[in-house]
Amino acid sequence: MHSSQSSAAGKIAPADTALFNLVQKQTFQYFYQGAEPVSGLARERFHSDNDYPENDKHVVTSGGAGFGVMALLVGIERGFVTKEEGRRQLEKIVSFLEKADRFHGAWPHWWNGETGKVKPFSPDDNGGDLVETSFMLQGLLCVRQYYQHGNAAEKALAARADKLWKEVEFDWYRNGQNVLYWHWSPDKGWKMNFKVRGYNECLIMYILAASS
């Protein structure tokens, strides 16, 4: 904030407000216009059409796309898209999430956005990623809250988002212990062996598990 352009009451100067609005809109467009077209989800990388390393143009990410789900709701409220446009995009995303690979309810870190098949994040990380799933669930819970008292189509979307949240088997990811594991693979099992502890961004996983 430029103090010379701001009042004593602390109001944000018009020039700063315009910059804030521009940054917010451009960030929104990354998740909306820049989304992978089949899934509607955020790409892991975003380049020009001819500049995708490892031919990963269609690789989408569950956690990053969860932030995109929240961004869509903000975009609707800010008037960057209409309520109808935003809902249609969210319906595309939810439809993808319902059909894409899941592992005891949890999504992988990466998918192929065209097919919904898991793309391994590393040689032993080809299954459920509970932390990235939790980031997506935060977005879906916001969708549920935003639409649950709307019209018939909006209520249906809210119910579908709620169903996805309730299908995550947090108890499975305890592996019989009093802790949550980050990963599980259908063919490698618990080989990643990553018990999540500490106060960090992964804490949301425990909050969601406790309330699930």
Among 115, 134, 117, 135, which residue's Cα sits nearest to residue 126? 117
Percent of the chain past pLDDT 90, that is, above it, reads 80
The pLDDT confidence band at residue 97, using thresholds 50, 70 and 90, is very high
pLDDT of residue 174 exceeding 90, the answer is: yes
Assess contact for 47 and 59: CB atoms under 8 A: no
Single pTM value for the model: 0.88
Q: What is the mean pLDDT of residues 160-169?
A: 98
pLDDT band at 4 (very low <50, low <70, confident <90, very high): very low
Q: Tokens 């459920």, residue?
A: 128
Q: What is the pLDDT of residues 33-75, one digit of tens each?
A: 999 999 999 988 654 444 444 567 789 999 999 999 999 999 9
